[in-house]
Amino acid sequence: MLGKTAGGLFWMFRYLERSENTARILDAGFRIALTRAATSEDEWSSVLTTSGMRETYLLHYDKFDADSVINFMLRDKKNPSSVIVVSEAARNNARLVRTALTREVWEAVNENWINLNDALSRPVRQKELPAVLGLIRQQSALVRGALHGTMLRNDIFDFARLGTFLERADNTARILDVKYHVLLPSVSLVGSSLDNVQWETILRSVSALNSFKSISGGELTPREIADFLILDKRVPRSLGFCVGKIATNLDYLAKDYGLELPCHTRVGTLKGALAEITIDNIIEDGLHEFLGDFITKITELGQQIEVDYRFTN
Amino acid sequence: MSKDQVFFDEMFAKGVDPRNPYQSIHEWVSSEDPKALTKKAEEAEIFFRRTGITFNVYGDDAATERLIPFDIVPRVLAAREFSKLAEGIEQRVQALNAFLHDIYHRQEILKAGVVPTSLVANNIAFEPKMIGFTPPGNIYTHIVGVDIVRTGEDDFFVLEDNARTPSGVSYMLENRETMLQMFPELFSSNRVRAVSDYPERLLKSLRASKPLKCEDKPVVAVLTPGIYNSAYFEHSFIAEQMGAELVEGHDLQIIDGRVAMRTTQGYKAIDVLYRRIDDEYLDPLNFNPDSMLGVPGIFDVYRSGGITIANAPGTGIADDKALYSYMPEIVEFYTGRKAILKNVETYRCSEADSLKYVLENLEDLVVKEVHGSGGYGMLVGPAASKKEISAFRKKLEANPDNYIAQPTLSLSTVPILTKKGLAPRHVDLRPFVLVSPKKIDIVPGGLTRVALKKGSLVVNSSQGGGTKDTWVLRD
C-alpha cells in the first residue's frame, strides 16, 4: 500500500470519529444548558474547551451563547474542527484513497458529506439540534457499518482503525480532562446534585450513561466513573479499550509486514502502563497530570505511526 | 448547407418505424409510463451523485464538482455495424503506431513526401527526446479513443484520434452499471455485449507492454495530477478497477534506476505507469522544469528500459489536428490498403487556398485549434453570432497555422427522454482501443456523448453535453 494511502485512511477515520465526537459533546452540553439556564455560559464554554477550539472561537465571538457555539461547532468554516469542515476533510481523504475503499464505504462517506452539507447549509436552530445531531451520529454509524461489513481485514482496515482509536482515545481523555475537577474526590465529598448532572454529562459525551448504570448498579461515584472511562476494557470509548485496539491493529501490521517498528515499542509501553496502574494510583498522583501525560503520549504515538509507515515524504 | 436539413436518426432513420437494432428499445419506451421513466431518470442522477461520478470544471471554483447528465435511452449498434467500425479502427490504430515509430526513427513518410516535413519539424507535439528510442514492445499508444461520427446508414467518419490520454472510459462503465441497476429487464430481452471486463483487459494489455528490466509479474500504477484534476474520478476509478495503485508525483522516486512508489513497507518499483498527466508535466528534468506533478528523471529511466510509460511521450504528434487531414494517406502508407474509415473533409488554414475558402465560409464551417481539445477555443459557424464570427476571423487571420476547418457535419441523432417524450439529439461515439504487442483490443461499446440542447452539435461535457449507455448487440 502507498504510504500516502495509509495516511489518507488514517486521517479519513480520524475526521469521521471527530465529527461524531463533536456531535456527542454538543448533545451533552445542550442537555446541561437546557436543565440549568443560569450557568449555561460555562457549559458552552466547556464544550469549546473540550474540542480545543475555545481560543479560535474567541477570535470571532465574545460570549458563549447557545446559538453561536452550536453553529460554530457544526457549520463554521472558520473552525477547522467543525462538523462541516471535518466531514469534507474526511471525504477528500476518501477521494484520495478511493482505490483502497469498497464501493459501500466510499458511498457512505460521500453520502455523509452530501447529507451533512445539506443539513448544515442554514443556521441550525435549537429546536432542530437534536435531529441534526442524530443525523451526524447516524451517518457515521453507516460508514462504520460499511467498513465492518465490506472491507477486507488487511492493512487497509488496520490503518482505518488506528485513525479511529487514536482520535477516540484523545477525545475521551480531553472530555475527562475538562471535567476532571468534578471527578476529584475532595469535590465529590460535597455530593451535591449539581455534580451528579456534571457526571452524567461526561458519560453522555461518550454515549456511556446507560452502560455505566448497568455495570455499576446505578451508583455515580467519581472514582467509579474515572475507572470506567480510563481503565475498563469493556467500554468502547475508554482509554484502555482504545489503546488495546491500537496495539492490536499495530500488531496485525507487524505480522502482516514482518516488521516491528518504533511505534510498536511505544504502544507496548503505553499499554503496559495502563495495565499496571489502578484508578486509586491515578487519583493519588493527580488525574489532570495523568490525562495530560496520556494526551502527549497518544499524540506522539500518532506521529510515530506516520513516520514508521511513511505517510509523507 | 441548408439549416433545415434532415438528419439521420439512429432510431427511426428517416421514417416512423424504428430501425432494426432499436426495435426492442422503442417498444420498451413506448410501453412505459413517461412519468415513471422521468422519475427513473431522476433516480439515475441521485445514483451518480451518491457514487461520486463527477468531474471538475476548469475555470470554476476549485471545489465545484459537476455531474455529466445521463440520458436513459441507450444508443444501440448492431453487431454488423460495430464489427465494420472495429475493422476500420484497428487499421487506423495500427497505422498510428507505425507512423509514430517511423516519425521518431527513419522518417520514411517524410522522405516519401506523403506528409510535409514542416508539419512535423515545427510541431510542438513532436518530442525530439523520443528520436531513436523504441518504447517497450514498440507500442506508442497503449490506449486510444477514436471519435466517430455518423451521418447515414453506412456513413461513419473519424472526427479525431485521441492518442495521448483519452478520457471517458469510466463513464462508459458507470453508464452501463447504472442501466443494469435501473433496468435489468432490458438486458434479459436484448443481447448486449458486456463492457465490464474493460479494466481486466486494460491491465492485461498494459502488462503485455512490460519494460526490459521487469523480471517478475509487472507492477502497474496509474499516475494522476491529484484530486483537483477534472478527471480525478476516472483516474481513481480505473486504478481501483485494475487493482493498481493510484500515485501522484510526490509518491514516486527514482531508486536504483527504477521508478519506485513510497509504500508503507518502503519503496517498490513500478513497471508500467499509466499516466494521466500531459507530456510536458511528466518530468521536470527533461520537460517543463516548473512541473510539480511529475517525477524528476523518469524519462531517463524510461530510455534505459526501467519503465513503460503509457501512452509514450510524444504520441501527441499523431493526434494533432493538422496531421489529421493526412490520415487517409498515412493509413495507406503503412498498411498498404485504403483507409476503411473515412476522414471528415478538412481544410488546413496553413495553406493559402484553404485559408481563403475558410475565411469566405466561416458561417458554415467548424474551425478548431490544431492543439485544442475539450471543445474549447473552437468556432461552430452555423451556431455563432456575427460578432463571434468576426472576433474569430481576427484570431484566424493572425495565426492561420493554428487552425483547421471542417464542414458542419450532419451528425446523426438518437432520441433522448425529455419531459415531452422522446426527442432527437445529436451524438458522437468514442470507442476505446487497447494496444499491446500481442493485439489490438477494441471494447464492444464506447462512450456516446449527446448534445442535450435541441439542434446543438457540440457534445463535449464541458459545453453542456451528456452521455448515454452504448450497446453493441450480439449477432
Residue B61 has pLDDT above 50, yes or no: no
**Contacts with B224 from chain A: Cβ below 8 Å:** none
**Contacts with B262 from chain A: Cβ below 8 Å:** 2-4, 310, 313
Same domain, B217 and B284: yes
pLDDT at B372: 61
CATH number of domain containing B240: 3.40.50.11290
**Contacts with A1 from chain B: Cβ below 8 Å:** 245, 263-264
Question: Could you tell me which of B345, B348, B328 has the C-alpha nearest to residue B337?
Answer: B328
**Contacts with A106 from chain B: Cβ below 8 Å:** 51-52
Residues of A with CB under 8 A from a CB of B: 1-6, 92, 95-96, 98-99, 103, 106-107, 110-111, 114, 155, 159, 253, 257, 259, 309-310, 313
Task: Say if B364 falls within a structural domain.
Answer: yes
Tens-digit pLDDT profile for residues A44-74: 888 899 888 999 999 999 999 999 999 999 9
pLDDT at B397: 93
Q: What is the mean pLDDT of residues B140-165?
A: 94
Q: Do A6 and B245 touch (CB under 8 A)?
A: no
Task: Say if B277 falls within a structural domain.
Answer: yes
pLDDT at A191: 46
Tell me the pLDDT of chain A averaged across its residues. 90
pLDDT at A226: 87
Min Cα distance B49 → chain A (Å) is 9
By DSSP bridging, strand B379-380 and strand B365-369 are antiparallel
Q: A180-189, A261-270, B165-174 — which is least confidently predicted? A: A180-189
Same domain, B349 and B302: no
pLDDT at A36: 67
Q: Do B264 and A4 touch (CB under 8 A)?
A: no
Q: Do A99 and B240 touch (CB under 8 A)?
A: yes
Tens-digit pLDDT profile for residues B80-129: 999 999 999 999 999 999 999 999 999 999 999 999 998 888 888 899 99
For residue B76, name the pLDDT band (cuts at 50, 70, 90).
very high
- Write the ipTM: 0.83
CATH number of domain containing B373: 3.30.1490.270
Full domain range(s) for residue B379: 345-408
pLDDT at B62: 42
Residues 130-159 of B with CB under 8 A from A: none
Report the C-alpha gap between B141 and B146 in whole angstroms: 12
Same domain, B216 and B267: yes
Give me the number of domains chain B comprises: 2
Q: Do A99 and B244 touch (CB under 8 A)?
A: yes
Out of B227, B240, B245, closest to residue A2 by CB: B245
Tell me the pLDDT of chain B averaged across its residues. 91
Q: Given CB atoms, is B262 within the 8 Å cutoff of chain A? A: yes
**Contacts with B227 from chain A: Cβ below 8 Å:** 92, 95-96
pLDDT at A190: 43
Out of A92, A95, A99, closest to residue B245 by CB: A99
Q: Which residue did the predictor score with more confidence, A38 or B55?
A: B55
Q: Do A95 and B247 touch (CB under 8 A)?
A: no
Nearest CA in chain A to B268: A2
Residues 40-79 of B with CB under 8 A from A: 49-52
Question: Domain spans of chain A?
Answer: 1-151, 153-313
Q: Which residue did the predictor score with more confidence, A144 or B47?
A: A144
CA A52 vs CA A48, A77, A250, B111, B373: distances in Å:
6, 16, 27, 73, 49
Q: What is the mean pLDDT of residues B393-399?
A: 93
Q: Which amino acid is at B330?
A: I
For residue A186, name the pLDDT band (cuts at 50, 70, 90).
low
Report the C-alpha gap between A295 and B15 in whole angstroms: 76
Degrees, nearest 5: CA angle A261-A265-A267: 110
Residue that is last in its domain, among B358, B376, B408: B408
Q: Which of B50, B248, B264 to mutate to test the interface with A (most CBs of A within 10 A)?
A: B264
Task: Say if B101 falls within a structural domain.
Answer: no
Q: Given CB atoms, is B265 within the 8 Å cutoff of chain A? A: yes
Tens-digit pLDDT profile for residues B228-281: 888 898 999 999 999 999 999 999 999 999 999 999 999 999 999 999 999 999
Residue B403 has pLDDT above 80, yes or no: yes
Residue B328 has pLDDT above 70, yes or no: yes
Residue B158 has pLDDT above 90, yes or no: yes
Same domain, B376 and B302: no
For residue B2, name the pLDDT band (cuts at 50, 70, 90).
very low
Q: Exposure string (b/e) for B417-450, b if CB count within 10 Å is 16 or more?
A: beeeebebbbbbbbbbbbbbeeebbbbbbbbbbb
**Contacts with B261 from chain A: Cβ below 8 Å:** 2
Q: Given CB atoms, is B250 within the 8 Å cutoff of chain A? A: yes
Residue B373 has pLDDT above 70, yes or no: no
Residue that is last in its domain, among B306, B334, B361: B306
Task: Say if B218 falls within a structural domain.
Answer: yes
Among A137-146, A177-186, B27-36, top mean pLDDT goes to A137-146
Q: What is the mean pLDDT of residues B157-182?
A: 92
Question: What is the radius of gyration, based on Cα positions, of chain B?
Answer: 22
Q: Given CB atoms, is B227 within the 8 Å cutoff of chain A? A: yes
Tens-digit pLDDT profile for residues A75-118: 999 999 999 999 999 999 999 999 899 999 999 999 999 999 99
**Contacts with B247 from chain A: Cβ below 8 Å:** 2, 4
Residue A241 has pLDDT above 90, yes or no: yes
Residue B44 has pLDDT above 50, yes or no: yes
pLDDT at B475: 84
pLDDT at B57: 55
Q: Given CB atoms, is B251 within the 8 Å cutoff of chain A? A: yes
